[in-house]
Amino acid sequence: MRVLGIETSCDETGVAVYDTGRAGADGLLAHAVYSQIALHAEYGGVVPELASRDHVRKLLPLIRQTLGEAGLGVDDLDGVAYTAGPGLVGALLVGAGVARSLAWALDLPAVGVHHMEGHLLAPLMEDADPVHGRPEPPFVALLVSGGHTQLVAVDAIGSYRLLGETLDDAAGEAFDKTAKLMGLPYPGGPQLAALAEAGTPGRFGFPRPMTNRPGLDFSFSGLKTQVMLAWRDSDQSDATRADIARAFEDAMVDTLAIKCERALDEAGCDTLVVAGGVGANRRLRARLQAMAARRGGRACFPRPALCTDNGAMIAFAGALRLESGERSPDAVHVTPRWDMATLPEVRPGAA
Q: How many residues does the chain have?
A: 351
Residue 11 makes contact with Mg ion by CB under 5 A: yes
| Residue among 272, 76, 307 nearest 189 (CA) | 307
Is 189 assigned a ligand-binding role in the annotation? yes
Minimum CB distance to ligand ATP, residue 242 (Å)? 15
Task: Report the partner that residue 79 touches, choosing among Fe ion, ligand ATP, Mg ion, none (CB closer than 5 to 8 A by kind).
Answer: none
Please name every residue paired with 300 in a beta bridge, in sequence order, or none if there are none: 273
- Strand pairing of 79-85 and 28-35? unpaired
Identity of the residue, 12 or 19, whose beta carbon is nearer to Mg ion in the bound complex: 12
The reply on whether position 148 binds ligand ATP by CB under 6 A is yes
Tell me: is residue 176 an annotated ligand-binding position: yes
Strand partners, 224: none
Q: How far is CA 93 from CA 83, 86, 311, in A?
A: 9, 11, 15
Q: Which span sits near Fe ion by CB under 5 A: 15-23, 201-209, 251-259, 303-311?
A: 303-311
Q: Can you tell me which of 14, 90, 190, 199 binds ligand ATP, judged by CB under 6 A?
A: 190
Question: Binding mask 168-187 vs ligand ATP (x if CB under 6 A, - otherwise)?
Answer: ----xx-xx----------x
Asked whether 256 and 288 are in contact (CB, 8 A), the reply is yes
Within residues 291-310, the interface with Mg ion by CB under 5 A covers 309
DSSP string, 291-328: HHHHTT-EEE---GGGTSS-SHHHHHHHHHHHHTT---
Residue pair 79/110 in contact by the 8 Å Cβ criterion: yes
Does the annotation list 212 as a binding residue?
no
Q: Which residues bind Fe ion (CB under 5 A)?
A: 145, 309
Annotated binding site for Fe cation: 115, 119, 309
Q: Which residues bind Mg ion (CB under 5 A)?
A: 10-12, 309
Q: Which residues bind ligand ATP (CB under 6 A)?
A: 10, 115, 119, 145-148, 172-173, 175-176, 187, 189-190, 193, 276-278, 280-281, 308-309
